[in-house]
Each structure stands twice: as structure tokens, then as C-alpha cells.
Structure 1
Amino acid sequence: MLTGESIPTERLMGDSVTGGTINQSGTIIIRATHTGKDTNLAHIISLVEAAQMRKAPAQKLADMVAGYFSYGVIAASILTFIFWYFFGTHVWQDITHNATMKMVDTLSHQQSPLGISSPKIVSQYSGLILSLKLAIAVMVVACPCALGLATPTAILVGTAMGAEMGLLIKGGDVLEKVHHLSAVVFDKTGTLTTGQPKVTDCLPITSAETLGPTALLKLAAAVEVGTSHPLATAIQTAAKEKELTLPCATEFKTIPGLGISAIVDGSLVLLGKWEWLQERGITIPKVAEEQAVLLAKSGKTVVGVAMDDSFIGIIAVRDILRKDAQHTVAKLQNMGLRVVLLSGDRQEAANVIGKKIGLDVEDIIAGVPAIEKAITIKKLQQSYTVAMIGDGINDAPALSQADIGITLKSGTDIAMETAEIILMSDRLTDVVSSIQLSRATFNKIRQNIFWAFAYNILSIPLAAGILLPITGFSLSPTGAAGLMAFSSVSVVTNSLFLRRFNKT
């Protein structure tokens, strides 16, 4: 639970254990030294909550501008009225009169709100009517609908597209933050690897010609029936996959953290660590030691097998790399992102996985406990905008500390609660898809904001009568309303084009 590794942590007499973890085999007597808020699990939860409280919501440019935009529109409308009523109508009297008389046809056939019913009377109020008309046009055409729709419409379409692709995105601001990522940190076990150890090597080391790999695996699987250790599960699974018929085993004895023994067909068979086998009087051949070193350097866990007083073979187990891990890392690196491996496993195992997925030595950080993972993320945040990808309880503080937390559907409940993006299809390649979708969404937001600003920059002067002295053209309130509606429709339509997004 705390290391995130598939191999249990060995504990001997006098060592500390953690509440909520599982004793794989044997009987233990424990003394409670911490309770309630002082436990490790409670400390992890407090770290998650503290990191979440430090996070500030994304600030959208459009929202900030729109907050002051209404005041600016009102001011522009008032200034337009003042300019034309006190200055413009006096400087360009003929143009003003002609522009006002165009309204006579509509006003002469119906009673106006001011009680004006004839062209003659209308002409007397030409300055006031034109000034009001232009001021109203400015007010209508500059309605901040397009600016207000620029961000939420793109986010709405982006999150909907994410759901269709199997990306559960917790909030629109997450898409904006993903756009700024510069580093992606992966947990190893259960994220880059499957989290389910498998037997990779079964090597008989004996002069007896009758003992082959299959016979060695049958003996080991028969002994491992007596325990639920992850290594035992891997050996039993390998035997089932080969459809082997296991011999009968009795008198199981488990030494926690060291090994297990049983009587198989009248012979004492032992599986365990080198040191334990030697304590039982088993001599380890030199060829076995050399082979074990090579297997350990390749990131595998080595188990020795002995029968009676002789060492008979080696079984190696390793957590298998996900099929899409290497492709995902290469894609992220091609996108200009730094990829880091952060693991609680030993350095040798982490180096093997890191090398396979194409990481440099400086990007492989191993032997990091759960609580210190969040500290490591915090250090990276001094230079990068960081996404953390993990699946276990031990990853929760780091997921919360990172700018963006991403987890797989197969992750633990606390990981899914803490993460801001959940990959429902359980594919690592969806990490790339989420970043690509975020960038596409953010590009739409920028396009929408640009067009909203460009629309207002062009339409407000037009509505204020900038062309009136030159061409005699002025924008009516009705025409201003049409342009305003068109701007909103164009922003929404541009956002809908995001549905054409195709992940690569």
C-alpha cells in the first residue's frame, strides 16, 4: 500500500509496520505506537488535502476582461452620444441631416415614442436622434456575448470529446492547465508496468538430466500452493498457463520474507532467498550465483530452488512493462515534454524499466518513499509545470501536489479521487491524447478570444459612426443587433469544429 510495489517489504522482529497494510504469511504480534491522526495513512490524507488547498483555479483571460467590459461599453456609448450631439452634428451638418432623414419614412407612418410624426419635426431633432441612434448601436453591437462564450463553449466541447475518448476530465480548467505542461512524471509499478509479476526465467541448475524447466516449475508451483505471496501467485499462474499437473505437497512451512518449504513426493523442496537456503545447509553453485547476478541486473527478482540438500534451479520473476509504455514516452518526448520515472523500487529495477522506455539516467528517480514523492514533485515544479501519473495509495500525495494528476481506471480509489484526469480505457497512450486534446481546446479558446476582440475592435468604431463623415454610412441599432448575434454564432460554430479533433 505504501511502496506501490508488487513485491512486499520484508519485516523482522522489532521493525515497524503500518496500519492498513497486509501481512502476507505467518503470525505477528504488534504494538500500536500511533493512532488516529498520527498514523501514516492519516498523514498521507492530510498531505493530499493540503496540496489541494494550495491549488488556485485557472484564470481565464476572457472572464477577466468581460468583468470590466460592460463598464467600457457604457462609457463608449456615452462618449459616442456626447461627441455627436455636441460636436459631430455641428461639424457635419449636411451629413447629419441626410442620415437622420433616412429615418423619416419609418417614423412618418407611425407615432414615434417621442410623439414626432412629420419629417419637418424630425429634422428639428436630427442631432439628438442621430446621437441616440449611434450610442444605442454601440451599446448593442458591443454586447460581450462573444467574449463570454469564447472560453466555456470550447471547454464544453473539449470535455465532451474527452468523455467520448475515455478521458474523464474533472473540470474545464484542467484542460487549460494541461496545455502548459512541460514535464510528465510516471510511477513505475502498476503504471508503466502491469503490476502483476510474471515468471520470465525457469533455469534448472543440476546435473540430473531428468529435471528440465517444466519439472522445476511444477515443483515450485506445488510448494507455492501454501502461500498467497505475489511471487507465489506468479509461479502458480505460470504453471496454470502451461496446464501443468502439480504433484501433491504437504507440510508447508513459511518463513516470512525469506522462503517456503514443503514435502513433495517424499522430498523436501525449498524456495527462497540465497541467504536462507545457505542457512539451511544448501551450497549455491558458482554458475547459479553468476546467473542470479545477471538476472538481478536485468531488473528481475530471483528465487532459488533446492530439493533435499541440493540446489536445483533458479526462477526469475519480473513485473512486465505495458505494451504501450515505450510508444507513449516517445510521443511525449517528441511533443517537447520531459519524461521522468519516479519509483519506490530499487534503483536497478527502475534503471532497467527506464532504459527500455528510452529515459536518460538523470530522469530515473528510484527508492523514493510515498511521502517523499510529493516533495520530489514540488522540487520539479520549481522549473517545470508537472503532470504526475500514478495508480496507488502511495501516489496520492504526489498526484495532488502535481499541477495535473492523472491516473488509470485500474488505480486505487484514493488515486482516482485525487487525480484530475482518469484514463477510463486504462491505456497509457491516452496520456498523449489528453495533452493533444488540451492543446486543441486551448487553441480554440485563443481563436475565439481573438475573433471576439477583433469583432469588437472593428464593430464598435463602425457603430460609433466612424464612416459617417466619409461615406455617409451609419450602423442602425437593428444592424448592430444582427452583427452581435452573428459574432456569438461564429464563436459557437468555431468551438464545434473541435469535434473534428483526431488523436494521433
Structure 2
Amino acid sequence: MSPLSTLNGSDATSATVLLRVSGLRCAGCVRSLERQLEQLPGVTAAAVNLVTGTAIVTYGSSLTSPDAIVQHINQGTFQATLVAPNAPLQLPPPSDGKPLAALAIGLLILSSLGHGIHLLPGHWPMLETMVLHWGLATLALLLPGRDIVREGIKGLWHGRPNMNTLVALGALAAYGTSTVAWLWPQLGWDCFFDEPVMILGFILLGRTLEQGVRQRAQQGLRSLLALQPLEATWLPSLECREPWPIPVSQIQVGDWLWVAAGDTFPADGTIVAGETLVDESMLTGEATPVLKGLGATVLAGSRNQAAAVTIRVERCGQAAFLGQILELVLQAQNRKAPVQRVADRVAGYFGYGVLALAAATGLFWWAIAPHFWPNLTTPLLPLKLALSVLVIACPCALGLATPIALLVGTSRAAANGVVIRGGDVLERSQHLTTIVFDKTGTLTSGQLELEAVTRYGSLEEEEVLTVLASLEQESSHPLARAIQRAHGCAELLAVTDLTTELGLGVCGWIGEHYYQAGRLAWLDRQGIDCRDAHPSTTHVALACDRQLVAVCTFRDRLRSDAIETVKALKNQGFAVHVLTGDTAHATQPLLAPLNLPADAIHTDLQPHEKLALIEAWQAAGETVAMVGDGLNDAPALTTAAVGISLASGTEVAIEAADVILVRNQLSDLLTVLSLSRATFAKIQQNLLWAVAYNLVGLPVAAGALLPLWGVSLTPAVAAACMAFSSIAVVVNSLWGINAFTRSYSYRSLLRTVKSDSSIGKSNT
């Protein structure tokens, strides 16, 4: 399984499916669809995203199926389609808002005819006839307003009122009342056919503007999606010289693909013919093209710069490295912060509350207000105020507050080489006080090099390396990889009864001899005499038949950006700790340039001891982030408030992490922390605006200012306010987060870290 793959469930009977959903209009729609899905037998969890129009559904594969889930959704208010696993992930194509904008402006112009007729030269009796205004209102409802009315009534019919329900009821009530007043003038009611036209005009105009800003907010994600080519050149065999163009959705593992110079690799694969330079900067952050030849691995989304090559496909579609990154980003936008779950829960009942408030408003101004303010009330005032309440209410702002900020923040993070798994991670990141690093492979390069082999028995150095490489052949630990590199390509020995003690060592039989390899302290606990060995650096000791025969020592180096990253974290007020299984003698000289106090470097730790330290700090009130990359870091990554892994880490570490540093650069940790603060600040601002808008707007629309100041809102003005509130939330998120990433302080911080890192790198 690919290390970044997260689409499978936690057990064999659990699976997850990604759906594209249309018809989502507000947070009420989101909560309504989630409830609809959760009621389906077999569905264990559902997360719907208003901004991207996606739903991620976790279900028991023995109880239901993706097709059944789609069919269940399509029976209601919404329409869903499956995202094929082998197909490249895509957002819906940007829609052209010009026709909708033209309709909205046209409606607003038509609705103003009745008000501006006296400004026109001459006499225009046709424009003054009620038949014309009735006809315009009827056409407005039947043509541009048709979808709003249909979806609104459908939602009400299914017991799930949404924003369209409120707008449709307001427009239809104004239209119906005006029609009654026109047909029965003896009632003495006013006709206001312009109101439903203006309501629809402002709503459509607001949606057009909001749509444009939303598409700008999706630019970061679209730029990542654009790395995926839509076509590939397929070869039926290696000898074939007539390649066929095929859609990337048809690529399968094992296929041969021909990739021309200048083209983008459509899948992860291995080069089987040719040699070229590959630009992986968008994926790994490595600015210099990498020379790759036979047997080298190439990643989907990287660019072939020099010459045509043929590759054998190893992973494709959503299983490829790029596909997994994109999938994680989309999943992150559907993984809600606790504050968003509260907002969605409130929004789920918002429509019912507004309908009740509108009814109460009408009843109050019809039955009670005339006794207190007889001069203010007119026959249609209760209805107009009730309509204003219906259309000013904005569940959309409440629903957009979190997902739009999350979309911008996670897309911006992904473009900078960071995958943040969800809004809950952002929320926890606000309270971090302590950053804990694993040493080997995290603070250090992890590219350990064999320094010396000290022999205590009859085995030659070459034999020692062969035995160690054979024992460690299944391990991905940096020490194991260093042994394998030092051993080279020589033949390995067969090992039987192989046993691994995590973080300590391995043991097994090779022929008639029993071997143990690991730390000296571990061998000592096994009853092996290790008194003659005193290595001062990272080491692996080897015992044969319970006799020490060799100790291999290794040297490592700090990552080029480790010193400045740790310095920046300390300057920002974070407590920084390092956890390692190595001895103090091996660790302290290597970490000396970090200028950490002695009590911040914790050595000789086993995995459960790392976990215990994390738990102790958090029990003491600290909020801890753990940065690691190894199998033995997984428990600590899971326990920490925020687990952060390098993309080069083990599959288990990546699965356990909340944040993945795709480019394997520690300086990207600063991006995580800074962007998390900026994104969550915008979420808080958006929610504050959405709540304040409704708390102020609804009473004003209900006539709260009418008795004292004579101020009330017409339904059309209320509709304009509602449209503005949604646009304000989207603009605030887009402008605020993008402005932060362009800010001088943020860019200068990263420049300082990266420039000092390059100096350090050149000096090593």
C-alpha cells in the first residue's frame, strides 16, 4: 500500500468513497445531507463540504455500496456522482457567471421601472399598467427564479428548509399578495410586484459575485490539480514504436507509457528505457532538475525536461503520489473543526427558526402592534416585515464561514508543500506550546553513513555487514538502510525465526548460528558481555551465539534547515524538545549547534518512553506537537495534540500524522504554524460576522427600529443585505489568508531560515 493512501477504512469491512454533490446552497443543506446519509444503514460517518461540493462517506462495505449511497442521495433534494478511483481528481470547471450576472442586472433594471417612470420624458402609459408588472414578476419567477423556487419548495416538501426555501417563500408570498391586491382592488392593499423581482435580482447578483470570489479561492487547489495531465501515451509493448494516446483514467499498474521531453509524467513509475532530467520542484521543493535513468522512480506531476523515456506504471490515479496529496487536501477540507460542527448543527435548524420568526413577526404586527402603534401599521406591513425576515436570514454566511477559510488555507499550505488533514488540526494548532522532534531522520538527514566496524570476534568486516544486512533486510529504519547501503548488492543470507523488538534490535537464526543485533544496552540486558565496547556515536552491535562479535558506528548530520527552524520556534515562544533512542554520548555533539538546554534533549528512549513523555507534558497542561518520521514515532505522533510527519517517513508514521511535510523541509513547519494561525483567525472572524449579522439583521427586518425611529427594511433591501453578507465572508477569507502569506514578516522569516540553511549546507 502507498504510504500516503488514506482512502481505505480502518478495517477490512470499512471503506470510504468520495462523491461530487450538486444542489448545496447553505449550511442547512450541508447538515441536511449529512443527516440524510447518516440515516442510511451501513453509513458510519459523512462529511459534506459546501465550498467544494464534495462529500466523503465512510461505510461498512458488507452493509451498503457506493452505488446505493448515490441512489439514496439522488432520491432527495441533491444530486451526487461517484469520483472514480482511477480518474484524476478534478474540481467542477469554473462556470461563466456572465449570463447569471446579466439576468440579475436585468431583473434589477426591470424592477426599477415602476419607481423611475416619472424620470422618463413624455408619457408612457404602457409602463404604468399593472399587467406589465405582473408579467415581469411572473417571468422572473418562471425563468431566472425557477431553480430557486423549485429547490426551495422541494427542500420544504422533504422537511429540510434551506436558503432557497426562505427566498422562494418570500418571493412567492410577495407575488401572491400583489396578485390578490391587483385582482381585488376593493381590499385596499398595495401592489408590489417589483419586490419579488428585486429579491431575485439581488440574490442572483450576490450569487454571481460570490461565485467569482469562490473560484478565486479555489485557484491554489486548481493549480495543484493542473499538475495532472489529462492524457498519456500508452505502449502495448516495450518494442512497439506506435504509441497510442489514452485518457489517464485508463492507465493501469504495469502499463508502459512513453513520456516525451516537456511532458508531465501521468503516473508514478520506474524508468525502463532512456535517461532524462526530471523537474520535481512542485512536489518535493527541489529546484534543481534530477538526472534519472534506468530503474529510477518518477512521480506523477513531475516534468520530463530533457529526453523521451519509457516508464512502467507502479501507481496511478488517486494511488499515485500526487493523487494522494490532492486527495488528502480534499479530505482536509471535509474534516471539520469542532467550531464548524457546532455552526453546521445550528445552521441545520436555522431554516426552521427563521420560518417561526417570520410567522411570529407577521402575527405580532397584525394582532398586537396596532394596539400600541396604530399610526404605524398598514394592512400589508405585517406581511412585508415577515417577508423581510425570510430573505434577510443568511444561513449561507454561517455555512461558508469555516469551509471557505479552510479551502484557502489548506490549498495555500499544499501549494507550499504542506498537507494539513483538517479543520480540527488547525484548531488544535492554535494552542500549541511545545514542539517535540525525533532526532534520526527528522532533525538529522537520516542518511547515516558507516563510520567504522570494530570487531571482537573472528568474523571479517564483510561478513559482519552481510549478517547485519540479512537481519535488517525487512526494516526501513535509517540504521538498517545505512547497513544495507554499506553492504551493497551482495547476496543476503536466509534468516529463520526472525524477531524484532521495536526500537531495540532484531534476532534470528542464520544457518546453525543465533544472531542478535541492536543497541549495546539491549544486548547487555540479554546477558551478553559488552564491557569491552564503548562507542561514542550511533551504533549497532552484533552478537553471535550470545558473544559480542562487532560494533558498527555511524555518523549523521543535521538537516540544513534544522538550526534556523529550531531558532525560529524558540523565538516564537515554543518550548523545543528532542527525543531519541541514541545515547547521550552520541547525541549531544550532534545536537550542540541547536543550542538547546540539556534538559530538552532526552536520550536512551524506547517508543513507550517517548509516548510517556508526551502524555506527561500534556497532563501538565502543555499542548504538544510531535515531529517524527519513523515506525517507533507512531505512538507519540498519535498521542500528541498535533502529529507532524515528513513525507519521506514510514507509512505508519504518515498514517498517524495530522500534518505531512511533503517537501521534507523542516522550515515548512513554520508554514504550518503560521498559516494555521492565519486560517483559524479568519474562521473566527467569519463566524463572528455571520452570527452578528443575523443577530442584528433579523430584529431590524422584524421591525425592531420601526416604533422609535421609523426605520424598516423592504424585502428587496433585505435580500441585498443577505447577498452582501455571504460575499463578505468569502472575500475576508480570500484576502486575509493570501495577504498573510504575502506579508513581509512571514516572507522574511522563511527567507532567513532558507538562506541560513543554504549557508549551512554549503559549509558541510
Alpha-carbon distance in 1 for matches of 2:698, 2:733? 24
Match status 1:153 vs 2:391? no
For residues 375-412 of structure 1, what are the alpha-carbon distances to aligned partners after superposition, in whole Å with 9 as ceiling and x for unaligned?
22222211212111111111111111112111111101
**Which runs of no fewer than 5 residues in structure 2 stay unpaired?**
1-334, 453-459, 469-478, 487-514, 519-529, 542-551, 750-764
Give the C-alpha shift of residue 149 in structure 1.
Answer: 0.9
1:410 to 631, 645, 648: 648
For residues 132-170 of structure 1, what are the alpha-carbon distances to aligned partners after superposition, in whole Å with 9 as ceiling and x for unaligned?
211221122123211111011111111111111111222
Match status 1:321 vs 2:558? yes
Letter of the aligned partner of 2:421 in structure 1? Answer: K
2:572 to 330, 335, 353: 335
Instruction: Name the structure 1 match of 2:476.
Output: none
2:446 to 169, 180, 195: 195
Alpha-carbon distance in 2 for matches of 1:345, 1:413? 22
Alpha-carbon distance in 2 for matches of 1:195, 1:233? 9
Contact in 1 for aligned 2:654/2:660 (Cα 8 Å): yes
How high is the TM-score relative to the length of structure 1? 0.60
- Counterpart secondary structure, 1:196: coil
Alpha-carbon distance in 2 for matches of 1:439, 1:474? 40
Contact in 2 for aligned 1:197/1:231 (Cα 8 Å): no
Largest Rg, 1 or 2: 1
Alpha-carbon distance in 2 for matches of 1:66, 1:147? 7
Instruction: Name the structure 2 match of 1:13.
Output: none
Give the C-alpha shift of residue 275 in structure 1.
Answer: 2.9
Q: Which moved more, 1:72-81 or 1:179-188?
A: 72-81
Match status 1:463 vs 2:721? no
Match status 1:162 vs 2:413? yes
Instruction: Name the structure 2 match of 1:444.
Output: 682
Match status 1:88 vs 2:369? yes
2:665 to 413, 418, 427: 427
Instruction: Name the structure 1 match of 2:610.
Output: 373
Specify which structure has the bigger relative contact order, considering alpha-carbon pairs within 8 angstroms and separated by 6 or more residues.
1
Structure 1 residues 376 and 130, CA gap change in structure 2 (3 angstroms) = same
Give the C-alpha shift of residue 234 in structure 1.
Answer: 8.7
Instruction: Name the structure 1 match of 2:430.
Output: 179
- Counterpart secondary structure, 1:457: helix
- Counterpart secondary structure, 2:704: coil
Alpha-carbon distance in 2 for matches of 1:462, 1:192? 58
Alpha-carbon distance in 1 for matches of 2:631, 2:446? 14
1:483 to 717, 721, 744: 721
Contact in 2 for aligned 1:156/1:172 (Cα 8 Å): no
Alpha-carbon distance in 2 for matches of 1:395, 1:149? 37
Give the C-alpha shift of residue 499 in structure 1.
Answer: 2.7
Contact in 2 for aligned 1:224/1:236 (Cα 8 Å): no
Contact in 2 for aligned 1:142/1:484 (Cα 8 Å): yes
Alpha-carbon distance in 1 for matches of 2:707, 2:482? 87
Contact in 2 for aligned 1:186/1:388 (Cα 8 Å): yes
Contact in 2 for aligned 1:151/1:445 (Cα 8 Å): yes
Give the C-alpha shift of residue 235 in structure 1.
Answer: 13
Alpha-carbon distance in 2 for matches of 1:354, 1:381? 25
Letter of the aligned partner of 2:436 in structure 1? Answer: V
Give the C-alpha shift of residue 335 in structure 1.
Answer: 2.1
For residues 448-472 of structure 1, what are the alpha-carbon distances to aligned partners after superposition, in whole Å with 9 as ceiling and x for unaligned?
0121122123212221113323443
Give the C-alpha shift of residue 364 in structure 1.
Answer: 1.9
Alpha-carbon distance in 2 for matches of 1:233, 1:161? 36
Alpha-carbon distance in 1 for matches of 2:403, 2:336? 15
Instruction: Name the structure 1 match of 2:386.
Output: 135
Instruction: Name the structure 1 match of 2:305.
Output: none
Give the C-alpha shift of residue 96 in structure 1.
Answer: 2.6
Letter of the aligned partner of 1:350 in structure 2? Answer: T
- Counterpart secondary structure, 1:407: strand
Alpha-carbon distance in 2 for matches of 1:257, 1:408? 27
Alpha-carbon distance in 1 for matches of 2:725, 2:480? 64
1:73 to 354, 359, 365: 354
For residues 36-65 of structure 1, what are the alpha-carbon distances to aligned partners after superposition, in whole Å with 9 as ceiling and x for unaligned?
xxxxxxxxxxxxxxxxxxxx9741153354
Q: Which moved more, 1:410-419 or 1:339-348?
A: 339-348
- Counterpart secondary structure, 2:532: helix
Alpha-carbon distance in 1 for matches of 2:348, 2:662? 37
Q: How does 1:32-431 map to 2 (within 5 A)?
A: 58-60=337-339, 61-97=342-378, 126=379, 129-198=380-449, 227=465, 275=532, 296=536, 317-382=554-619, 383-431=621-669
Identity %: 45
Alpha-carbon distance in 2 for matches of 1:145, 1:322? 46
**Which runs of no fewer than 5 residues in structure 1 stay unpaired?**
1-55, 98-125, 202-221, 238-254, 259-272, 277-291, 304-314
Match status 1:499 vs 2:750? no
Contact in 1 for aligned 2:580/2:605 (Cα 8 Å): yes
Give the C-alpha shift of residue 500 in structure 1.
Answer: 3.2
